[in-house]
Structure 1
Amino acid sequence: MDNESIVYGCIKHLPFGDERQRKASCFHNRRAVRALPEADESPFLGQDMFAFSADPGGGGYQTQVIHFGQSYRAVEYEWAHWIAKFERLLKQMYWVSAVVHLDTELAGTHTFHWDCADDYHEPSDDPLRVRCEWSREGNLV
């Protein structure tokens, strides 16, 4: 059996401005995710792996939370390609932070964090800042 990898995490957006601006930025994020393909070339990054919590003012408190998850066949071998697709999506969205967890059977758990240099990220082609943390559970035999 091949190695399974699980990718999951969330994108957080703290809407800004007046009510109209807050709604517009949340709607923009939903539209960016819906623009992803239903099916994609490996490593898959598609709209069906994303879900939205209730938007602020619509049941949510202050932060728009966009969560995602997917099971892959050894995605760590194509990880740079997956990250490039994810960062293309982030560049199209409003957000304050994002986190991706990569759980692998052989290479342990990797956690990637994106944080804004400013109060929030607006859609742009500016470079993104990411940091990675790695941990491995279990004992070596």
Structure 2
Amino acid sequence: MADASRMDSEAVVYGCIRLPASPDRLAQQRRCMHNRRALRQLPLADSGALLSRELFAVSGDDEHGETRSQLIHFGLADTGVEYEWSHWIRQFEALLQQMYWATAVVHLDTETAGRHSFAWQALDECHRPGDAPLTVRCEWAREGTVG
């Protein structure tokens, strides 16, 4: 019985991709729209893909010329994502390669493996589509009682 509950334990993935505001409003609007197009090109959730467009919500980019940071939030609760984690990360990094951003953070919370936090930082002030390979920093924490 305990083994079955472990197999069915839910994992939660959530995080944020951030494109900081730019004083160049036109450039900022182009970058924000480019990022929205990249997200729209993701498959639908019912396709069975690990990354789908429904996982993402965009805020901060204003069509009226306001200069704000674009925040792209995402979240997923699933019973098997930690077993596909290396594939999920590869697909997430492929998405990042296509986008403009400065920072990206992903949290993976699981009952069996604890919390893993992954962080990407652009080498310059902003990553541009196709820029140099990405580097990631991972932190791991496990909560629980010792006894």
TM-score (norm 1): 0.90
Is 2:104 the counterpart of 1:85? no
Q: Which of 45, 52, 60 matches 2:51?
A: 45
Q: Which of 107, 130, 133 matches 1:101?
A: 107
CA drift at 1:41 = 3.6
**Unaligned residue ranges in structure 1 (runs of 5+):** none
Cα separation, 2, equivalents of 1:18 and 1:59: 10
1:70 is matched with: 76
CA drift at 1:55 = 1.1
Cα separation, 1, equivalents of 2:59 and 2:131: 26
Alignment of 1:1-141 (within 5 A): 1=5, 2-16=8-22, 18-39=24-45, 40-41=47-48, 44-55=50-61, 62-124=68-130, 126-141=132-147
Cα separation, 1, equivalents of 2:101 and 2:74: 15
CA drift at 1:59 = 9.2
User: Which structure shows the higher helix fraction?
Assistant: 2
> What code does the residue aligned with 2:44 have?
E
> What code does the residue aligned with 1:33 have?
L
8 A contact 1:25–1:94 mirrored in 2: yes
How many pairs does the alignment contain? 140
> What code does the residue aligned with 1:66 have?
I
8 A contact 1:15–1:26 mirrored in 2: no
CA drift at 1:140 = 3.8
Q: CA RMSD in A?
A: 2.0
In structure 2, the CA distance between the partners of 1:10 and 1:126, relative to structure 1 (3 Å rule), is: same
8 A contact 1:74–1:104 mirrored in 2: no
